[in-house]
């Protein structure tokens, strides 16, 4: 199984990853987590990415792509069940780069899950979360960047027939069941 979780920050993708991993045995690649680890470790890459993260902007393409290439290489060797991507791709250039990478290894995506949550609910959730980059100014910018750069991927994947919309409101359990409905038939 090779899937992408798509949705605004705060749409609940991260909350569902454990359940998806437990049920399908996939490994997860979350670029936000990888970037935060680089920042925490004080690496050169982390130092480069931090100002973008603090501002709610996308980190540079080369940094993120390098992390994904490394992550996929490791995953291909360690997890035969496949992978789930959270927070990547985040714009058209990243989506095309991912397609190219996966085509090269003959392992295209099977599904893209779009977590559909309306705007007011997203803002409410993000303000309640309290992460370092969750202050109001950054949140507003992250949502703007999402609308402008990431939201076009909904259409991009829909055209490829890969998109499945998951209603992202309700209990964690209800959302998990909706996810199972669209993933249980993927090999």
d(CA 135, CA 18): 26
Segment interacting with ligand AMP, rule: CB under 6 A, options 69-77, 83-91, 104-112, 153-161: 83-91
Q: Which is nearer to ligand AMP, 58 or 84 (CB)?
A: 58
Which of 2, 90, 111, 178 binds ligand AMP (CB under 6 A)? It is 90
Reply yes or no on whether 142 is catalytic: yes
In whole angstroms, the minimum distance from the beta carbon of 85 to ligand AMP comes to 9
Q: Give yes or no for residue 12 binding ligand AMP (CB under 6 A).
A: no
Measured distance CA(28)–CA(41) in Å, rounded: 20
Catalytic residue among 90, 111, 125, 178: 90
Q: Which residues ranging from 133 to 152 are in contact with ligand AMP (CB under 6 A)? A: 142
Q: Is 90 a catalytic residue?
A: yes
Instruction: For residue 88, state whether it binds ligand AMP (rule: CB under 6 A).
Output: yes
The tokens describing 137, both together, are 């100014």
**Residue 50, C-beta contacts closer than 8 angstroms, at least 6 positions apart:** 39
In whole angstroms, give the CA distance from residue 87 to residue 102: 17
Q: Does 7 bind ligand AMP (CB under 6 A)?
A: no
Nearer to ligand AMP, 90 or 125 (CB): 90
Contact pick of 7, 56, 71, 82 for ligand AMP (by CB under 6 A): 56
**Which residue's C-beta sits nearest to ligand AMP?**
32
* C-alpha to C-alpha distance for 61 and 93, rounded to whole angstroms: 8
Q: Which position among 23, 47, 129, 160 bears the catalytic label?
A: 129
Number of H helices, E strands in the chain: 9, 5
Phi-psi label, residue 124: left if phi above 0, alpha if psi -120 to 50, beta otherwise: alpha
């Amino acid at each position: 199984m090779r899937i992408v979780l798509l949705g605004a920050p705060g749409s609940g993708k991260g909350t569902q990853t454990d359940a998806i991993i437990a049920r399908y045995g996939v490994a997860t690649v979350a670029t936000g987590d990888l970037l935060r680890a680089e920042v925490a470790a004080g690496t050169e890459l982390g130092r480069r990415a931090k100002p973008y993260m603090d501002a709610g902007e996308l980190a540079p393409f080369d940094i993120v792509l390098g992390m994904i290439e490394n992550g996929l290489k490791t995953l291909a060797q360690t997890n035969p069940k496949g992978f789930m991507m959270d927070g990547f791709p985040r714009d058209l250039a990243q989506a095309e780069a991912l397609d190219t990478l996966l085509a090269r290894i003959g392992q295209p995506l099977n599904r893209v899950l779009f977590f559909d949550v309306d705007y007011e609910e997203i803002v409410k959730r993000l303000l309640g979360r309290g992460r370092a980059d969750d202050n109001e100014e950054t949140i507003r910018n992250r949502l703007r960047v999402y609308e402008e750069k990431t939201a076009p991927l909904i259409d991009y994947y829909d055209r490829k027939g890969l998109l499945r919309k998951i209603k992202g409101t309700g209990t964690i359990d209800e959302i998990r069941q909706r996810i199972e409905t669209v993933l249980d038939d993927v090999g």
